[in-house]
Amino acid sequence: MKICFIMYPWDRVNPNQDSSLRIIHECALRGHEVAITHPNNLTIRDSVTLSHCNTIIKEDKVKASVPSFYKSVRFVKKMRPLSEFDVIFMRANPPLDPLVLNFLDSVKDDVFIINAVDGLREANNKIYTAAYHDPERELIPATHVSKNISYLISVIEESEHDKMILKPLDGFGGSGVIVIEKAAMHNIKSLLEFYIERGDKQSNYVILQDYVEGAEDGDVRVLMLHGKPIGALRRRPAKGDARSNISAGGTVEKYTLTKEDKILCKKIGEKLVRDGIYYAGLDLIGGKLIEVNVMSPGTITDINKLNNTKLQVKIVNYLEKVTRKREELKENFRPENL
């Protein structure tokens, strides 16, 4: 199997924690050809989509330790057509440059892209979760996306809850997530102006979401592979912080999915596969879906440690299965039918 990871720069990888590195290491252990590139390296020449790739030089014996593998791995640099790969694994950090998807459009019929181009186009930001049809609010708390300050203020005033969650539409890793309270209503207009009018853009969308009881105790991250949960953990926020993201100082605990969690995962999982989202991270609070992470969801290393498992084995098994099926079925292959 030839696999290309489109991801963040190699020198920014934390070898003790990084999820992408675990998948890359597992591919290398199995003797697969692994290339690594960055979205900025994509190019088109003579109507062929290529990328400047760092391809791992195969070793007779790959180091078993992931950090040791990271330190010792050697690359050969070469411009390569993306169509020569069996799999392209999108692991770039959000926000996603939509032009990257235009490059990938040209090879999506030749290569298995995880996640699919159309799926990434639809689900790479928080609108994907906010727009999920759930009129009874069984799965998702009431969510509002807007950059109209007057409207957002009216939403807060009319809410039955004393608290709401405010976050930027394009945030990730817990950046910009805060709890707002009606008791501080005199500050809300100024806060919304700051969030919406920040930066060079003329205006930015924000999300207002009903506060789910229990949010102060953190959230549950569930990793989904082809519509099914393969691992989970609970994230606890640092003292004095509303965010439970590990990158924001949160801690992790072992977690076993409840019956209700599994029902939610099944319903959401079916939609994910239909939309071409084959690998994703769900964030749950109080049995409700808060976010779907489709770009580069982490926590593989922590889930592995907490459960004495190796999720990367399941992920690479899946990629190998898809590659075999593509070879067998050629043009009639549809990954959602696996």
Domain segments of the chain as ranges: 2-120+327-337, 142-210
Q: Is the dihedral of CA 174, 120, 33, 310 positive or negative?
A: positive
Greatest CA separation for the chain: 66
pLDDT tens track for 255-268: 999 999 999 999 99
Burial 64-84 (b: 16+ CB within 10 A, else e): eebeebbeebeeeeeebebee
The CATH class of the 2-120+327-337 domain is alpha beta
Distance CA 291, CA 302 (A): 19
Question: Phi and psi of 197, rounded to 5°?
Answer: -100, 10
Nearest residue to 219 (alpha-carbon basis) of 183, 188, 177, 182: 177
pLDDT value at residue 72: 96
Name the residue with higher pLDDT: 308 or 243.
308
pLDDT in tens, 187-233: 899 999 988 987 555 678 999 999 988 888 889 999 999 999 999 99
Burial 245-272 (b: 16+ CB within 10 A, else e): bbebebebeebebeeebeebbebbbeeb
User: How far from 128 is each of 21, 122, 167, 285, 309, CA to CA, in Å?
Assistant: 27, 7, 15, 17, 31
**What fold is seen in the domain 142-210?**
Dna Ligase; domain 1 (3.30.1490)
